Chain A
């Protein structure tokens, strides 16, 4: 299994916030992540990535220095920054059971490790794409859901082989979206148009 990149610091059944380890690469917006827990593995879509101060009462200010100058002369500045992301939990796999495209019975544990999903697991999160319903019908109000869908469809395409089979998966997901958007073709078109394939 892939190395953890982050750790859960706030958790609910619907979403969690994780802090990215200093040496790790932050996940992309729309990427799939997995959180192994006691009874189940949780699958979630990264819906918001943020860089900010570790300490709530200290704000970043402009210093007019390059990142290299900052590292050499003001080493505390970069040390006090951290990347966090919020991920929306949309599926889980109970120990020894099948994958379920719905919210888990329990939230991820605080301090649980978060790792990126390998391609075969993203592939398993395919038809009937029930989680798209969760994302579209109950979007996180602070996230533009269509942009999240654009990023997510890109992931689905790549995991299913890109030019070698990815189109089929994309079409299947597109059909689900079409129904969810009540045949709002304008909206659907704007999502599909932006998927980088």
Chain B
């Protein structure tokens, strides 16, 4: 229950605070734009500095001048675009027996043709005590590993990428360009939180192997991030300003300015930025050809919403091929145009994958029925029960 009156009191200074913050951001933005301009003639030196410096923040690797902007080319027709997404019902500490569910969607559209699309979602119910370890195949040392939310999320990400690869293979038509579009980042940052080094490494290794299969099959893979919070390009400018050597007054530092604010000023509608290399350590286990590069793209305003800077991640091998970069750029823009500012096919993949509250309740109901039929008690915690039936 939210006491709106008490909340209202706390809103008193909210607007004024946000105005001050925005002013701070704007002055940083001006400094960042000046640095971007100044570093242009010496960008190759900056590239070297970015390679060798260890400033303690993630710095974008350079492949071209960081202020470069490229217009979009028209999207080819026909073209195949595939996407996958996943959702889950996490193992619930308040529900016995322990079990969880993954639901992975697969979408393939043959744009410009009248061919039937692929639109499906496949549920995967896991309840065996060994199941998590099974999913980890040879991890004998992790026999006691619990099906934690982190592991389930990591498995879901893996399944999504697997489904994407599989759908791309299924939908591929000889001679027709294809793009496989994933949701979110291809860099497995979240695995860092797992607190289990062996498991983390195993999961990254398997993810890296999947990325390599895209390369082996020549399937152009990219992922789209809406409203990205990354700061690697701004961090690069901090390096240029030597903020690592002479830390400035916190008010004068560019720290905290997201890359997207910078590219709002640099890119015109539809344009994409230079391609940068991710320096994230998590991908030291990715094969060099599958390490992640990225660019920003100015998604134009639509009928119902403002313009946005999106982030597109691609594997290194794709970044090396200008024609494939153009293809990915054109497909992402066309998707965003049709999807009212966000890739239409990703919305569709999400719609297919999502498990709604009503369906989740049904899932537990089915489990309860099965348990009853087997003559076993179905145990929810008293806490879970009390949340369902608040008393008056």
Residues of A within 8 A of B111 (CB): 72-73, 75
Kindly report which residue of chain A lies nearest to residue B107, judged by CB atoms: A76
B231 interfacial contact with A, CB 8 Å: no
Q: How far is the CA of A58 from the CA of B356 in the complex (A)?
A: 13
A82 to chain B, nearest CB (A): 13
Known interface pairs A74-B338, A76-B119; A55-B344 also in contact (CB < 8 Å): no
- Tell which of A72, A74, A79 touches B119, judged by Cβ atoms closer than 8 Å: A79
Is residue B351 within 8 Å, beta carbon to beta carbon, of the partner chain?
Answer: yes
Known: A79-B117, A79-B119. A74 touches B344 (CB 8 A): yes
B56 at the interface (CB under 8 A from A): no
Which one, B112, B116, B348, B356, contacts A73 given CB within 8 A? B112
* Any B CB within 8 A of the CB of A71: yes
List residues 103-121 of chain B with CB under 8 A from any CB of chain A: 107, 109-114, 116-117, 119
Chain A neighbourhood of B348, CB < 8 A: 76
In chain B, positions 83-125 with a C-beta closer than 8 Å to chain A are 107, 109-114, 116-117, 119
Chain B residues, CB < 8 A from A73: 111-112, 338
Interface size on B, residues (CB 8 A): 15
Give the residues from 48 to 82 in chain A that come closer than 8 angstroms, CB to CB, to chain B.
Answer: 55, 57-58, 71-76, 79
Complex interface: chain B residues within 8 A of A71 (CB): 114
- In the assembled complex, the Cα of A79 lies from the Cα of B110 at a distance in Å of 13
CA distance A55 to B348 in the complex (A): 12
Say yes or no: A55 contacts B117, CB within 8 Å.
no
Chain A stretch 19-73: residues in CB contact (< 8 A) with chain B: 55, 57-58, 71-73
Contact for B109 among A55, A57, A58, A75, CB less than 8 A: A75
Which residues of the partner chain A approach B356 to less than 8 Å between Cβ atoms?
A: 57
Tell me the minimal C-beta distance from A69 to chain B in angstroms. Answer: 10
Pairwise interchain contact B117-A72, C-beta atoms closer than 8 A: no
> How many Å lie between the Cα of A55 and that of B350 in the bound state?
14
Which residue of chain A has its CB nearest to the CB of B75? A73
Shortest distance from the beta carbon of B114 to any chain A beta carbon, whole Å: 5
* Chain A residue nearest in CB terms to B303: A64
| A58 to chain B: closest residue by CB | B351
Cβ-defined contact, A72 with B338, below 8 A: no
Q: Which residues of B contact A75 (CB under 8 A)?
A: 109-111, 116-117
Chain A contacts to B: CB under 8 angstroms: 55, 57-58, 71-76, 79
Task: Name 14 A/B residue pairs within 8 A (Cβ), A-sorted.
Answer: A55-B351, A58-B351, A72-B112, A73-B338, A74-B338, A74-B344, A75-B109, A75-B110, A75-B111, A75-B116, A75-B117, A76-B117, A76-B348, A79-B117
11 more A-B contacts (CB under 8 A) besides A72-B112, A76-B119, A79-B116?
A58-B351, A71-B114, A72-B111, A73-B112, A74-B344, A75-B109, A75-B116, A76-B109, A76-B117, A76-B344, A79-B119
